[in-house]
Structure 1
Amino acid sequence: MAQKSWETLEGACYNCKKCRLWELRTHVVIGKGNPKADIMFIGEGPGQQEDLQGQPFVGPAGQLLDKMLVSVGLSLEDVYITNIVKCRPPGNRDPYDDEKDACLNYLRYQLKLIEPKIIVCLGRIAATTIIDPSFRITRQRGIWLPKMGYDFIATYHPSALLRDEEKKRPAWEDMKAIRKRWDELRDC
């Protein structure tokens, strides 16, 4: 991927056969939103609806994420949303390490194209892959971590909020903190 362009990234992703996930995919799911956003949300991988539609976060968890964004005055014009792996793991299982490793260069390429200031890891898989392998989502979510020129924060994955109502309040606090940090960065 020598030339820095979306076309190069998309071509590489659509033709990728670096791991077993390509064999079962309906669509490669690269991302959606503003390709020059200051805020980038990263989940773990596409689910069934995402695989069918070719867009990240369009199922029930995605609908909740959309509501969370709106609740703090954000939209797809303000953010970019993607996943670590670009193809659906069977049965919505967690992506295996070799599958994540196969896709990490695509994610790095997205970071270079978008140049976000804030990176939000949605859930344990994203946080342990991107921030630190020992990251504990229940203990460390909502804490800002400057790293490699980005402001990182992790919060619960929207699918976890659908399973456990008690996590909604902390996730709401995290979203407000993300909005506040974005406002501070824009005021500089």
Structure 2
Amino acid sequence: MMLEPAPTVAQLLAFYLEAGVDCALMDEPVNRLLDEDIGLHAPAEAAPKRPPLTGMPTPAPRPAPTRTEVAPDVAVAAAREAARTAPTLDALRGMLEAFDGCALKGTATRLVFADGNPQARIMFVGEAPGRDEDIEGLPFVGRSGKLLDLMLKAIGLDRTSVYIANVIPWRPPGNRTPTPQETQICLPFIQRQIELVNPDILVTLGNPSTQTLLQTRDGIMKSRGRWADYDTGTRKIRAIATFHPAYLLRSPSYKRLTWMDLRSVAKALETAT
């Protein structure tokens, strides 16, 4: 029987990248199989030796320590209470930095809160940060961010005249889709963020943010370009959905429809002046 050759380092790295493992969470490797009494970073030789076999049964090994996770309903309730009491955007950011109810915080490099002008009349909201955003701590700074900048420029705007955020402020591992539980836990924070910015126009980018914030089950193909009301509880904000820049990079034929949506946004800004 012929044995397959061992993969090269380049092949292993390519495999991990394809699986979504594209960044390190810690500077040093951690052996999570070590006994909890000797610490996570203890060398293997420091582990206590097993007693020699005798007539007595060997005690069963203790399970590896696990991280205590907050129940989803408890996390949602905590998020609602924290977001409700945030008087300013800075306070809201501080609450998110201290919030431990979402497991995504433990796998992300940093919080991706927002970018742009907090006094802007228009706010854009996407779904979640990607790899580049996770590294820099700002939303839309990768390839999709550059396309968003071009989209803004096309209607006479830039990042100094808009406010940009995401429904989820932490990058999901491997850029996977956030789970419904993760979305519900983070939802109170983006809702409060929108309320504090208090824009005249809200633009949701892509299907997930549109369905989450505008409370619709329609897909982006049907919901884009249609004006709706986003109710903060104190006022109604005009809202419109369009395609996410990342989707346009994969499907450039939809840029024409996005241009129509942007023209509608520009017209709404002019009439609301």
> TM-score interval w.r.t. the shorter chain?
over 0.9
Amino acid at match of 1:165: P
- Deviations along 1:98-155, whole A, 9 cap, x unmatched? 1111111111221122101111110000111111241221122011112421111000
Amino acid at match of 1:182: L
SS class of match (2:101): coil
SS class of match (1:30): coil
The answer to whether residue 146 in structure 2 is matched with residue 63 in structure 1 is: yes
Q: Deviation of residue 3 (structure 1)?
A: 4.5
The answer to whether residue 243 in structure 2 is matched with residue 156 in structure 1 is: yes
Between the aligned partners of 1:146 and 1:53, the Cα distance in structure 2 is 33
CA contact 1:94–1:125 (8 Å) conserved in 2? no
CA contact 1:33–1:76 (8 Å) conserved in 2? yes
Q: Deviation of residue 7 (structure 1)?
A: 2.4
Amino acid at match of 2:196: L
Alignment-derived partner of residue 195 in structure 2:
112
CA contact 1:120–1:153 (8 Å) conserved in 2? yes
Give TM-score scaled by structure 2 length: 0.66
More off after superposition, 10-19 vs 46-55: 10-19
Q: What is the number of equivalent residue pairs in this alignment? A: 186
Greater RCO (CA < 8 Å, at least 6 residues apart) = 1
SS class of match (1:66): helix
CA contact 2:129–2:166 (8 Å) conserved in 1? yes
More off after superposition, 45-54 vs 70-79: 70-79
Give aligned-pair identity as a percent. 38
CA contact 2:86–2:92 (8 Å) conserved in 1? no
Q: Which has more radius of gyration?
A: 2
1:18 pairs with one of 92, 97, 101: 101
Alignment-derived partner of residue 252 in structure 2:
165
CA contact 1:18–1:102 (8 Å) conserved in 2? yes
Give TM-score scaled by structure 1 length: 0.95
After the TM superposition, list the runs of 4 or more consecutive aligned residues in structure 1 that deviate by more than 4 angstroms.
none
- Alpha-carbon RMSD: 1.1
- Deviations along 1:129-182, whole A, 9 cap, x unmatched? 111241221122011112421111000000000001111110111111111101
